[in-house]
Every structure is written in C-alpha cells, then in structure tokens.
Structure 1
C-alpha cells in the first residue's frame, strides 16, 4: 500500500483499532492491511504498528513551536516559494523554487510541482504523479483510478465491519448495535457508487437484494451461534440471494460475466461462514488466516465490478 508519510506507533493502554483509526484519520481496514501479521482482536501494549495518517491528521508534537523559536513566524517562505493564504501543502510534497501555489489547490503526498507550472484552483494532483510544464490533465483521466479506489475501500470496509459486528454479536457485547449501524452505513456507500451508473428503478431492486444479504447474514450467524452444525433454510437462502445479486448485476452491466461474478460472491460467503465457524470453535488462527485471504477476494471483486461499470 502506497503511503508517503507512514509512521511507527507504539500501542498504548486502552488503544483499539477503531480508536486509532479515528485518531489518525484512517480506517480499520487500512490499519489491518498495513500490519498483516497483527492480531486485530488482541493489541498488546508496547507493540509497534505502521500507520498511514489520513487527510486532516495533524501531529500535535510537530504543530507546537520549538523552545526558543517562539518569535519565528511559522509560515515564513523559503527558497523563493510563494505561498498564497489558504493553500494546503501535504507531508512529503516538494515545491520547486519560484513556483506558485494558488488558493484551494491540494497537492497529494509524493507529488511534485515543477517551476512555471500553473495549477488551477480546486485541482488535485494524485500520489506519485508529476505535472510537467505546459501539460494538461484531462478531466476523465483519473475517473477509473478514483472508481477503483472507492470500490476497493467500500468492499474492504464491508468485510471488516461485518467481522467486528459478528464478534460483538457472538460475545454479546454492548457495541454490537454500533457495529451493525456501521455495516448498514457502509452498504449505503456501496450502493451510492452504483447509483452513479444505474437508474433509480434498478437501484431500488439492488438495495432490496443487498439488505436481504445483510439480514440473512444475521440469521446465519444466529444459527451458527446456537448450533455449530447449523444448515437451516437461512444458509441456503443466503447463497440463493448471492445468485440473485450476481444475476441482477450482470443484467444491468453487460460487461459482467454472471458465472464469474456468482463464483466471487460464493467465495465471499464461503469465507465468511468459515470465519464464523472457526471463531465459534475457538480456532482464532484459522479465523484470522481466512479473513486475510478474504481481503484479496474483496479486492478482486471490487476491481471486477469497477471495470464493468467503466465499460458501460
């Protein structure tokens, strides 16, 4: 995972992935992806985590003036750089001498603005990109990258939030309603991506199918909690619902191969069921191993879905 300004953080008493995600303006999913060997259920005080702070994060220690330098202006330009009020320069950016950053521009980590370039207000240069003198970035060039990133994060967040919700449900924790709310909020984020491409009538059907998936996930979890050998109607309907979603999406988007899409959804349900069974059996190592594999499944599914939408 690309990150220009990653930091090493020592876990403190009372820390949790959710708390750290809020503190560093990132997500639980990104924390897990950056720390693949970590047990997300058992953070130990003193262990080191790699964190990539998100947009808006400010290190309080860096923002405090050093002793003896209290009279030095904090926004003194150097090297001939002209900084217009209201400009935001992110960590790791390099602005060459003589360049001008205009109000409202945002330069992402790792990007380079070369002398003489003019970036129009409100424009965004993404990580690792280089804007050369006189070059023009067409409005549609970044649409595919943006859609794929949004789709990946939405589906990775889906499996992560469901994971934490199911643990809170199995353990009868008071947090289970909060996690469940987060799962449904994430579902709306996924639906919102497709709503940019599908008509309202189609989205009504998709929403109904997606909410049915979440309802059946609840029933399957409750069945397995009561009986580890559970194989009731909810389990069968869970897979039938996956078939219906694959069929619906392939009708709306001709680029989707229904057989391939159905297999991806089946794999998702298989791994989710296996995680539940392993957790309830106390086999936490297997549970974590399957969860990490399910992340790759979600990335492949997200890329498949994004590619189909872009081909419409």
Structure 2
C-alpha cells in the first residue's frame, strides 16, 4: 500500500480504533490491515500500532530532523507518534498491489459492515437501516472491482448472486433471532448460493480452483453463523474471537480472488 507518512503510534489510555481512525483521517479497516492480529475490542495501553494517516491529517508536533542524523525518526515522539524510517512505500508498477489492497479492503469492510448491521438488527436499533445501506453500498464496491475484468452479461449474473447472498443473510439472521436452533430453508439456500457464486467465478476465471473457492465461502458462512449464534447466546468473547479469525479468512479469500484476476 502506498503510504507517504506511515507512523508508529503508542496506544494511550482511552484509545479505540474508531477514535484513532477519526484522529488520523483513516478507517478502522485500514488500521486492522496494517496491524495484523490486533484485537479491535481490546487495545492495550502502550502497545504500538502502525498508522497511515489519510488526506487532511496534520501533526502539529512535527519537528525538523537533526542534521547528519538521517537514520533517526523524522518526528519527535510526542503523544506516542513517530515516523518509521524506511517504511515509505514508493509507487511504481503497482497495479497488482493496488488491486490486492482494494480487494482486501472491500472484503474486510464486508464482514465488518455486516457485523455492525446484524448487531443493530438483533438489538432493534434505529441505526439498522443505515448499516444495511452501507452493506449494500459495499457490495457494489466489490462488484465494481470485478466489473473491470468481466463482461456486462457476467456482471449481471454476479450481482444477482451477491444480492441473493445478502438477502439470505437477512433471512438466516431473522431465523436465528426467533429461534437459536433455526435450520430452515434459508440456511440451506445460503450455502447453495455460496456454491453458485464459487461455480460462477470459476467459470469466469478458470484459474480459480472451484473446490478451494467453495471452501473459502463455506468457511465465511460458518464463521458468520457462529458469530450470530454466539452473540444471541450472550457469549461475546466467542463472538469476538470468531470475528477476528474471519478477518484472516477474508484476507485469504481476497488474495485468492486477486491472483485469479491478475492471471486473466
């Protein structure tokens, strides 16, 4: 990822990823991408996070480096912030890098937005429609990536399959909310839809191994279902643990999809 001013930040008391994302003009998803394995629900005071500030961020504590000392940080570590020497990534022939980053961000946003939407749905919050709109907007972002490589006729089919996935997720969530032991037709159709998506993608991009791709989508659904079950059961620790594992699943899926598109 191109980053002109990547920094290392020492977590302060009261910090959260949402607070830091707002402070540094970035996103929670990008913070998670830059800090593999970080628990977004349990930041420890004193731990270090790598942050790539977004457009508009200004560090008022910036100071000039000492002459002849080019190996030292270029900013005084005030408030826990310090530039990491040698970490700036230079742009170049980075089409593959950009696609990889876009794909990762899109799929990580997918599971994060779906999670917030489902929580708002389970708790009957007034924000649930806003979260649902964000989920569908993210779906269009994912589809837009593939639209650069697939013909319009194929994208029409892909969009239909993806929207069916979201509709079935709604039905599964509603079923589990009403009955924790829910195993109705929506649950079965949810997995059938995942098979259809894997089959469609492998036909459009033959380099994709359909069996491997199907397993990744199955794993995604398994973890999404397990999170819903754990949340509704009040087992929030398990819910969080599975969500964190699902991030890695999404990164692996995104990289798999990227490699196939680049090989077309």
> What's the TM-score once normalised by structure 1's chain length?
0.67
Verify the 8 A CA contact 1:161 1:179 in the aligned structure 2.
Answer: yes
1:160-182 superposed Cα distances (whole Å, 9 cap, x missing partner) = 11111111111222222221111
Closer, same or farther: CA 79–199 of 1 in aligned 2, 3 Å: same
Q: Partners of 1:75 and 1:40 in 2: how far apart?
A: 26
**Secondary structure of 2:49's partner?**
strand
Offset of 1:215 from its aligned partner? 0.9
CA contact (8 A) 1:191 1:203 kept: yes
CA distances 1:254-273 after superposition (whole Å, capped 9, x unpaired): 11111111111000000111
For residues 186-205 of structure 1, the aligned pairs below 5 Å read 186-205=138-157
Of the two, which has the highest radius of gyration? 1
Q: C-alpha distance in 2, partners of 1:161/1:190?
A: 13
Higher relative contact order (CA 8 A, sep 6+): 2
Provide closer, same or farther for how the CA distance between residues 165 and 48 of structure 1 changes in structure 2, counting only shifts above 3 A: farther
Tell which deviates more after alignment, 174-183 or 300-309. 174-183
Unaligned runs of 5+ in 1: 85-132
Q: CA deviation at 1:311?
A: 1.0
Distance 1:231 1:34, change over 3 A: same
Q: CA deviation at 1:23?
A: 3.8
Change (3 A) 1:305 1:178: same
Normalising by structure 2, we get a TM-score of 0.78
Aligned length: 264
Determine which structure has the larger helix proportion and give its number: 2
The question of whether the paired residues in 1 share the 8 Å contact of 2:10 and 2:49 is answered with yes
Asked if the contact 2:10–2:46 (Cα under 8 Å) also holds between the matched residues in 1, the reply is: yes
What is the CA distance between 1:9 and its match in structure 2?
Answer: 6.4
Change (3 A) 1:149 1:48: closer
2:196 aligned residue (244, 248, 253): 244
Structure-2 change in CA distance of 1:42 and 1:224 (3 Å): farther
Stretch of structure 1 that moved more, 7-16 or 230-239: 7-16
Deviates more, 1:231-240 or 1:2-11: 2-11
The Cα of 1:24 is off from its aligned counterpart by 2.0
Shift of 1:75: 17
Contact 1:152 1:302 in 2 (8 A): yes
User: What is the rounded CA distance, in whole Å, between the counterparts of 1:82 and 1:175 in structure 2?
Assistant: 37
Question: C-alpha displacement at 1:159, in angstroms?
Answer: 0.8
**Structure 2 gaps, min length 5:** none
- Contact 1:28/1:160 (CA < 8 Å) preserved in 2? no
Residues 41-96 of structure 1 show CA distances to partners (whole Å, capped at 9, x for unaligned) of 57899998664322432235559999999999999999999999xxxxxxxxxxxx
